Amino acid sequence: MLVKEWMATDPITVDEETSIMKVTQLLKEHKIRRVPVVRRNKLVGIVSDRDIKEAAPSKATSLDVHELYYLLSEIKVKDIMTPNPLTLKENDSVEKAAVIMLENRISGMPVVDDENHVIGLVTQTDIFKVMISITGIYRGPIQLAFDLEDKPGYLTNLLSQLSQLGARMVSVLTCQDHVGPGRREVYVRIKDMEQSQLDNMIDELKKEFKVLYVLREDLKDIPRKPSSTR
C-alpha cells in the first residue's frame, strides 16, 4: 500500500513567521496536533501542540493577560519548530512510514514532492486505518489462527482446505515473531457463518493443522468514548 492512497491531501501549512498564538488557534479550529512549517512554500520544519505547550509561559507566570498575549504573538513558529523533519514521498509504502515513525517515536510525517513542497501528511491514525483495512475486521467477524510449518505448499494447502470447508476468506496475514525457526503463525479472517458450521470446520482443520485459537468479534460491543455534555 502506498502513502499517497492513505495520506491526508492538501494539508494545512503555516509560514515560519507565523506567531504561535495563530498556530494554536489553527490547531484547535481544525482539531489537529501538528502542522508543517514552510518558507516560500517549501518545507522547513514541523510544529506540534506539544512544542507550543513547552514554549508557552507556565500557568504560574506573573505576566498579566495583555503581556501574555503580546509574548505569544511575538514568538514565531520558526523559534520552536522541529527543523528539517523526517519526510516521506507519495510512492513510499505505508509499511515504511510505520517503521520510520515507530523507530523515531514520532506520530506524524509530512509527505513532500521532489521540490520539497508539502503535498500530504501521514499520522498514526492513518496507519491504524491501514491496519484495520488489511485485516478486514469490518468485513469478517471471525479470525482463525494457526501455527504452520514455513514450507512451500503448506499455506496453500491450508487455504484450500478452508475454502473446501465453506469459509469465505477476507484476509490472510502471517507472522514469524512469536514462533520458532521453520514455523509461522497464520491469521485468516473469514465472513460470518453459523456456529455449528464453524465448529465442524474447526474439528476438520484440527485433524491436519495446529489451531491456535478461534475468535468471533462483534464490533457493536466495542467501547465508545462518551459524548461530551455541556
110 and 146 inside one domain: no
Segment 126-157, tens digit of pLDDT: 999 999 999 999 999 999 999 999 999 999 99
Segment 2-42, tens digit of pLDDT: 999 999 998 999 999 999 888 989 999 999 999 999 999 99
DSSP β-bridge partners for residue 8 = 121
Give the sign of the dihedral formed by CA 42, CA 47, CA 48, CA 52.
negative
Residue 171's CB: how many other CB atoms inside 10 A?
Answer: 16
127 and 143 inside one domain: no
Mean pLDDT in residue range 82-105: 96
**Domain CATH number, residue 44:** 3.10.580.10
127 and 187 inside one domain: no
Of 100, 131, 162, the residue that ends a domain is 131
113 and 175 inside one domain: no
Segment 64-86, tens digit of pLDDT: 555 656 666 778 999 999 999 99
Domain count, the chain: 2
DSSP state of 76: B
Tell whether 72 is covered by a domain: yes
Residue 123, Cβ density class (10 Å: 0-12 exposed, 13-18 middle, ≥19 buried): buried
Tell whether 184 is covered by a domain: yes
Specify whether the CB–CB gap between 68 and 57 falls below 8 A: yes
86 and 152 inside one domain: no
**Domain CATH number, residue 177:** 3.30.70.260
125 and 154 inside one domain: no
Specify whether the CB–CB gap between 155 and 174 falls below 8 A: yes
Report the pLDDT value the prediction gives residue 176, as an integer from 0 to 100.
93
116 and 141 inside one domain: no
Of 131, 151, 171, the residue that ends a domain is 131
50 and 70 inside one domain: yes
Cα(97)–Cα(128) distance, integer angstroms: 12
Q: Is the pLDDT at 116 greater than 70, yes or no? A: yes
Q: Could you list the residue range(s) of the whole structural domain that residue 181 is in? A: 136-219
96 and 179 inside one domain: no
Report the pLDDT value the prediction gives residue 35, as an integer from 0 to 100.
96
Cα(114)–Cα(164) distance, integer angstroms: 50
Residue 162 φ then ψ, to 5°: -60, -45
7 and 120 inside one domain: yes
Specify whether the CB–CB gap between 189 and 171 falls below 8 A: yes
Of 131, 161, 187, the residue that ends a domain is 131
